[in-house]
Amino acid sequence: VLLDFSTSLNPLGPPPAVYRALRRQLQGGAALEHYPDPACTVLRERLVALHGVAPNQVVLGNGSSELIQAIPLAFCCRRVAIVEPTYTEYLRASLLARAAVTHWLAEGDDFVPEPFDPEDAQLIWLCNPNNPTGRLWPHGVLPAWMAAHPGTLFVVDESFLPFRPDEAEHSLIPHLSRLPNLVVVRSLTKLYALPGVRLGYAVTSPEYADLLRARLVPWSVNAFAQVAGVAALKDQAYLGLTHAWFRSETQSVMAALQKLTLNLRVVPSEANFVLLRLRSVSSAWLLNKLRAHSIRVRDASNFIGLDEHYVRIGLHDSESNRSLVRQLAECLNPKHGKESSG
Ligand SMILES: Cc1ncc(COP(=O)(O)O)c(C=O)c1O
C-alpha cells in the first residue's frame, strides 16, 4: 500500500455521519432531481452558530478554492502582496484578476512571519497556520497589524487552523466586528477529509460578503456537499478525536524528526504538516528513494522562496508516521536507519 504524506488531510478520514447522510440523500433522490439551495441555508446556520456571526457574513463556496479565486475580482484589487512561501493559488487568483503582485518573504530559516509596511498594496494574502511552513502568526500580532492599516484588505486563510485544539485563541473571526478590512477563508475539506466533495467558506463584513457572493457561480455548492457539511459540523466527537490526534502526533513526530538533524533541518511546525530542508540531497532524489518504499511526500521546491531541498509531509496516524521517520532515517543515513529500525 502507498503511504501518501503529500497531502495534509485529516487521517481519521471522513466522519461516519457524513457517509450516512450522503446515503440517505441518494436514497431519497430529491438531491439529484432538484437544484440545490443556492443560499445553503441549513449549512450556513451551522456556521453562524459555530462562529457567532450574522448569516449575511458567511459566504459558502465550492471548496475554499472558489472563494480564493473570486476574492481579487470581487474587491477589484490592482496591487496585491503575498506573504511567502505560501499556498500558490493566491498568486494564481491575483494574476487572473490582472493584479500586480509583490512577494513578502518570511525572514530566516524558520520562516517566522512578521508584519511589514503594505505600502500601496490594496490586498494582503496570508495563511495561518501557513502552508507549507507550518508557522502560526504570534498571538495578537495580526489584529494589531490590520488595525494599523485600515485601507488594506487582509485575506487570512485559516484552512488548517481547526486542527489545533486551541484554534479559538488564534482565529481572527472573533475580531471581525472590530476589523472591517478582514476576510477569513476556511476549508472544510482538510479538517473533515472531504476533498472530493468541495466545500469552503469565507466570513467577513456583510458588505464584503455581498461583493464576494456576487462573483460566485450560481448553485456552486451542490446538494451533496451541503448535506456532508451539515453532518460533519454536527460531529463534535470527531473534532475531539482530531484534536487528541493533533496533540500526540505533532509532538512525537517533531521529536523523532529532530533526531535526524544531521541530515535535515526541521522547520518548527504548528500545523498538521511539517516542512523539511534536506541538507545534502535534493527533494527529487528523496522522492525517488521513498517511492521505492511506497511512500509519497510533497516536493516543496516550487513554492516561492523555497528551493530544491525542501519537502513537506502531512501527518498521518502514529504507525504510518513512525514508518515515514524510519524510512527517512534509512534513506538519508542508511547506517542510522538500520540501527533505529532494529
Ligand atoms: C492553505 C490552503 N487553502 C485552501 C486550499 C483549498 O482547499 P479546498 O478548495 O479543498 O477547500 C488548500 C488546498 O490545498 C490549501 O492548502
303 CA to centre of ligand 1 in angstroms: 15
Which pLDDT score is estimated for 337?
42
Residue-by-residue DSSP string for 227-249? HHHHHHHH-HHHHHHHHHHHHHH
Helix (H, G, I), strand (E, B) or coil at 158: coil
Count each helix (H run) and each strand (E run) in the chain, helices first: 13, 13
pTM score of the predicted model: 0.96
Q: Report, in angstroms and rounded to the nearest whole number, the Rg of the chain calculated over CA atoms.
A: 21
Ligand 1, atom 3: closest residue by C-alpha: 159
Bridge partners of 157, per DSSP, are 127, 185
Which pLDDT score is estimated for 144?
97
Which pLDDT score is estimated for 261?
77
Number of residues that make up the chain: 342
The H-assigned helical ranges of the chain are: 16-28, 30-33, 41-51, 64-74, 89-96, 141-148, 167-170, 206-213, 223-234, 236-258, 283-291, 318-332, 334-341
Which pLDDT score is estimated for 28?
77
Q: How far apart are CA 235 and CA 10, in angstroms?
A: 14
Ligand 1 within 6 A of 133 CB? no
Q: Are 277 and 265 in contact (CB under 8 A)?
A: yes
Ligand 1 mutation target, pool 59, 65, 125, most atoms within 8 A of CB? 65
What are the 10-residue block averages of pLDDT along the chain, 342 residues in total?
A: 95 97 88 94 98 98 98 95 98 97 92 94 98 96 97 98 97 97 98 97 98 97 97 97 97 93 91 96 96 96 96 97 95 61 34
Say if strands 153-157 and 182-187 run parallel, antiparallel, or are unpaired: parallel
| Shortest-distance atom of ligand 1 to CA 86 | 1
342 CA to centre of ligand 1 in angstroms: 39
Grid coordinates representing 42 are 441549513
Which pLDDT score is estimated for 334?
64
Residue with cell 459540523: 233
Burial of 150 (0-12, 13-18, 19+ CB in 10 A): exposed
Ligand 1 within 6 A of 204 CB? no
125 CA to centre of ligand 1 in angstroms: 14
Q: How far apart are CA 316 and CA 322, in angstroms?
A: 9
> What backbone torsions phi and psi does residue 112 show, to the nearest 5 degrees?
-70, 120
Ligand 1 within 6 A of 63 CB? yes
